[in-house]
Structures are given as C-alpha cells and as structure tokens.
C-alpha cells in the first residue's frame, strides 16, 4: 500500500540525516584535510582526537537513521522501479560509506581518541591521519551519490 505522507517523511528524514554526514565528511575533504596537513602533530592529536571521541558517540545514530529510513522507503516502494533504483543506489552507497568508516576511519578514530584522552601525541600521528584521509574522498563520493539518489526519489514521488 502506497502512503504518500509516509514516503515524504521517510525521504525528509533520510535527506536530513544523510546531509549531516555528507556535510561533515565534505568539510573534512575540502578544508580539514589541508588544514590538518599544515598543523602541528600535537594539535592534530589533541583536536582531532577529541573531535573523533565526540563524533564517534553522536554520528552513528544519525548515520543509522539515514540507512534505516532509506531502507524502509525502498521496501515500501518495491513496485516503483524508479524509486527502487534510486533508493537502492542510495542504500548501497550508504552501506559502502559505513564500511569504509568501520574498516578504516573508526580504528584510527579510536587510537586518536585514546591518545587525546590520555594527553599523548602518538609517534605515528601523521600516518594515522594519512590513513584516515586516504578514504575521505571515497566516503564523500558515496555520500554525494546517496544524496542525489534521495533527491531524485523526491522528484519521482
């Protein structure tokens, strides 16, 4: 059964929550990566370590709401090929983003957060940051595709 109001609510929630993650990652891809490369090791360890500590507690809820609202929208619209394609691509790219986060970024975040809490500067802080930076372009690209899929879905309701 097609419920237009529920579809609209799911897409609004998906766009807003995906947008938060997209904006965060895009900022780091556009400005943060370069600013970090110009910063002192102690500054990177302290600021980014604490940033990851806070973000890793708050952002997963936002990301999961994005994934769940997109998945529910997809399953409620299995009879509409355009919406299935758009929301399916969105869901795949959100899961790809999540995979990169869990495999690459999260382990780095954990190490940097622990160092910041203990007021330490890891000897390999640049290597850690370079590893984190190595996937930010891909994460942002996945999120760009996800946002586009959601917007095209809105246009096809």
The string of pLDDT tens digits covering residues 42-53 is: 999 999 999 999
Say how many domains are in the chain. Answer: 1
Whole-number Å distance between alpha carbons of 58 and 107: 16
pLDDT at 75: 97
Whole-number Å distance between alpha carbons of 110 and 114: 6
Name the band, by pLDDT with cuts 50, 70 and 90, for residue 114: very high
- The mean pLDDT of the chain is 97
- What sign results for the dihedral spanned by CA atoms 29, 32, 36, 38? positive
Domain of residue 67 covers 4-155
Residue 12, pLDDT above cutoff 90: yes
pLDDT at 39: 96
DSSP 71-130: HHHHHHTTT-HHHHHHHHHHHHHHHHHHHHIIIIIHHHHHHHHHHHHTT---TTHHHHHH
pLDDT at 1: 61
pLDDT at 2: 80
Whole-number Å distance between alpha carbons of 37 and 86: 37
pTM: 0.95
């Amino acid at each position: 059964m097609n419920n237009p109001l529920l579809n609209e609510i799911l897409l609004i929630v998906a766009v807003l929550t995906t947008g938060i993650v997209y904006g965060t990652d895009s900022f780091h891809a556009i400005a943060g990566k370069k600013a970090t490369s110009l910063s002192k090791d102690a500054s990177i360890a302290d600021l980014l370590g604490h940033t990851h500590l806070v973000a890793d507690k708050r952002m997963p809820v936002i990301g999961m709401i994005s994934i769940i609202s997109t998945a529910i929208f997809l399953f409620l619209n299995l009879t509409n090929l355009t919406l299935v394609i758009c929301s399916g691509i969105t869901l795949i790219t959100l899961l790809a983003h999540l995979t990169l986060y869990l495999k690459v970024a999260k382990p780095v975040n954990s190490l940097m957060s622990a160092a910041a809490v203990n007021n330490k500067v890891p000897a390999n802080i640049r290597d850690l940051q370079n590893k984190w930076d190595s996937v930010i372009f891909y994460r942002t690209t996945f999120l760009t595709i996800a946002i586009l899929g959601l917007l095209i879905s809105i246009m096809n309701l």
